[in-house]
A and B are shown apart, each in its own frame.
Chain A
Amino acid sequence: MKELIKGNIALCNGALDAGLNGYFGYPITPQNEVPEYLSRRMVELGRTFIQAESEIAAANMVLGACATGKKAMTSSSSPGISLKQEAISYLAAQELPAVIANVQRGGPGLGNIAGSQADYFQAVKGGGHGDYKIIVLSPNSVQEMYDFSYEAFGLAQKYRTPVLILADGIIGQMMEPAEFNKPKIDPNTPISADWALTGAKGRPPRSIKSLLMKDGALYEHNLELQKKYKTIAQNEIRCEKFLAEDAEIILVAFGIASRIAKGAVKLARACGIKAGLLRPQTLWPFPTEIISSFAKSGVTFLSVELNAGQMVEDVKLAVNGKCEVDFLGKPGGVLLSEQEILNRLQEIAKRG
């Protein structure tokens, strides 16, 4: 049965149903519902909740819990996610299955508390130091806040990698009917991971580290990581297609922008403009091949984002000069309207 619920609470429910053992967070708008809700639920369920002294500490508490094979999560919003990047680099290096949620707000700096998509680069290009990638899921509805949060734990465990849920203030704050229909995983399920730190009982000790000083060791480790990223890119790309097959103008949009873009596609079709939409649900791995398969002469791509133009660079890489790539976006936590997108579609259609 569907219930009317906030995106941030749906995110919590996804994590709870996935068997979350520990949540570690710090207050920041517009994600405060997450620590507030979990401060009650986790305690009621006999699980771990800590309001940490900083986003840095919260991320490192996650690092500790994940090293023991437990399911742990932290959440924040843009400035707080910047603080977590140190730990995220370590989590990637130590191959720890952490889940991190970024309910984005406007930036740079303290910015504002309006929903924004300005952290795309930080999320998909590696926000911390070193050669690494993390899986980035982009929900565009309250239902997907639940679904992706739940699935993030499975992906994290499967590949021993951090997974970032890149939401935004609008998806986080809005209410929408959603259904919490996934099988509830018991958080006390014994840990079978052959790498987890569970105490060296009846086996040699394990160490989980990222300092690899021996000649060639770091090089080898990096090659292994890259191999893993390739596997993830082969298996885990998700992309929604909407009226894209015969489209002459293909919008590419993620998260909240994709909902508005979809509305604009419908308006455009009603005006006789053959528009369609590709919505990456994974921002890394990016649906490069899918976008590329639609790139042919006579087609124009339009990347629609709530930033000054970030994903458009990946769209251009995917299109690789085969056709025109245009950008429409607004930075600073300002929202686009369907009408504004339609206006641009009409311009593009006119210029042919």
Chain B
Amino acid sequence: MKKIFSRPESLTNAPFSYCPGCGHGIAHRLVAESIDELGIRERTIGVAPVGCAVFAYNYFNLDMTEAPHGRPPAAATGIKRTNPDKIVFAYQGDGDIAAIGMSEIVHAANRGENITVIFINNANYGMTGGQMAPTTLLGQVTQTTPFGRDPKREGYPIKVCELLSSLEAPVYLERVAIYDPKQVLNAKRAIKKAFANQVENKGFSLVEIISNCPVDWGMTVMDSIKWVKDVFIKTFPLGIIKDKTR
């Protein structure tokens, strides 16, 4: 019998500890498949964030470290610059990248670091129990916006890709989603391209993945998928925000 589907080599056998319906598992798998297909597993070093993906080093079957909250782009910079032959990626959440680590991501992008950043945007702080993130939508209820996010009080959702697109150096910025198989396939294409860019020394690439967080959103998995489609991606439109490789 021919085996047509198996675990990528870049994933360990550890079962994911993510909540049901969470997008991290899918994102991990897409990253692992991309690394496998590019044949770079043995020279890849990943940087895990503080957030739900803090345990990423348990799931990726490759060398991993962990940086303080928000600092993965700086740590990845240190790794890549002193080891230009390695493939380096940072895996970050929305609080990590757009709140506490805004400075690190902006400057790593602005220096055009030849790294790959995978950014999971699920519109809230998942690990700490669902507080407001910089990407929380207007009106969205979270543990710290009990009356819904009010722009007068909390400002507006930050669009990381659009913000970084004003910089000269980044070569590739794309926002994708993973709420259905078609979107997953599209996300895979984008992630693989973000790694391929690094292999080809093209420069800074970032893929923002709009991800579901049904538990912290207080929704069923099916409702969360509907919410992503009907609401989330209206504020965060999908597509290529910048591509200098074309």
A and B touch in their complex, CB below 8 angstroms: yes
A residues whose Cβ falls under 8 Å from a Cβ of B? 21-22, 24, 48, 50, 52-54, 56-58, 60-68, 70, 72, 86-87, 90, 94, 197-202, 205-211
Chain B 81-95, CB within 8 Å of chain A: the 1/0 string?
Answer: 111001000000000
Chain B residues closer than 8 Å to A54, beta-carbon distance: 103
B119 to chain A, nearest CB (A): 17
Any A CB within 8 A of the CB of B99:
no
A162 to chain B, nearest CB (A): 14
Any A CB within 8 A of the CB of B243:
no
* Total of A-B residue pairs, C-beta within 8 Å: 134
User: Would you mind naming 30 contact pairs between A and B with Cβ atoms under 8 Å apart?
Assistant: A22-B81, A24-B78, A56-B74, A57-B71, A57-B74, A57-B103, A61-B74, A61-B77, A63-B65, A63-B67, A63-B74, A64-B47, A64-B67, A64-B74, A64-B79, A65-B78, A67-B65, A72-B78, A72-B82, A197-B45, A199-B62, A199-B63, A200-B41, A200-B61, A202-B42, A205-B64, A206-B64, A207-B58, A208-B64, A211-B54
| B50-82 interface (Cβ within 8 A of A) | 54-55, 57-58, 60-68, 71, 74-82
Any A CB within 8 A of the CB of B216:
no
A312 to chain B, nearest CB (A): 33
Contact A53 B107, CB 8 Å, known A199-B45, A209-B57: yes
Q: Which residue of A lies closest to B100 (CB)?
A: A56
Any A CB within 8 A of the CB of B43:
yes
Contacting residue for B75 out of A63, A199, A200, A202, CB 8 A: A63
* B77 contacts A64, C-beta separation under 8 Å: yes
B219 to chain A, nearest CB (A): 27
Any A CB within 8 A of the CB of B33:
no
Any A CB within 8 A of the CB of B44:
yes
Contact A68 B45, CB 8 Å, known A53-B107, A197-B63, A197-B65: yes
Contact A57 B66, CB 8 Å, known A68-B82, A87-B71: no
* B65 contacts A201, C-beta separation under 8 Å: no
* B103 contacts A53, C-beta separation under 8 Å: yes
A46 to chain B, nearest CB (A): 11
A98 to chain B, nearest CB (A): 10
A288 to chain B, nearest CB (A): 32
Taken together as a complex, chains A and B put the C-alpha atoms of A52 and B83 apart, in Å, by 18
What is the interface size of chain B, counting residues whose CB is below 8 A from a CB of the partner?
38
Contact A22 B61, CB 8 Å, known A60-B71, A70-B83: no
Chain A residues closer than 8 Å to B58, beta-carbon distance: 207
* B79 contacts A60, C-beta separation under 8 Å: no
B residues whose Cβ falls under 8 Å from a Cβ of A? 12, 41-45, 47-48, 54-55, 57-58, 60-68, 71, 74-83, 86, 103-104, 106-107, 111
* A52 contacts B68, C-beta separation under 8 Å: no
Taken together as a complex, chains A and B put the C-alpha atoms of A161 and B222 apart, in Å, by 49
A-B interface, 3 closest residue pairs, ranked by CB to CB distance from nearest: A64-B78, A64-B75, A61-B78
Chain A residues closer than 8 Å to B67, beta-carbon distance: 60, 63-64, 90
Contacting residue for A205 out of B54, B61, B103, CB 8 A: B61
Chain A residues closer than 8 Å to B45, beta-carbon distance: 67-68, 197, 199
* B82 contacts A21, C-beta separation under 8 Å: yes
Chain B residues closer than 8 Å to A56, beta-carbon distance: 71, 74, 103-104
Chain B residues closer than 8 Å to A24, beta-carbon distance: 78
Chain B residues closer than 8 Å to A22, beta-carbon distance: 78, 81-82
Contacting residue for B81 out of A50, A86, A207, A211, CB 8 A: A50
* B44 contacts A199, C-beta separation under 8 Å: yes
Chain B residues closer than 8 Å to A201, beta-carbon distance: 42-43
Taken together as a complex, chains A and B put the C-alpha atoms of A61 and B108 apart, in Å, by 11
* B62 contacts A200, C-beta separation under 8 Å: yes
Taken together as a complex, chains A and B put the C-alpha atoms of A211 and B55 apart, in Å, by 8
Taken together as a complex, chains A and B put the C-alpha atoms of A62 and B77 apart, in Å, by 9
* B103 contacts A208, C-beta separation under 8 Å: no
Q: Which residue of B lies closest to A54 (CB)?
A: B103
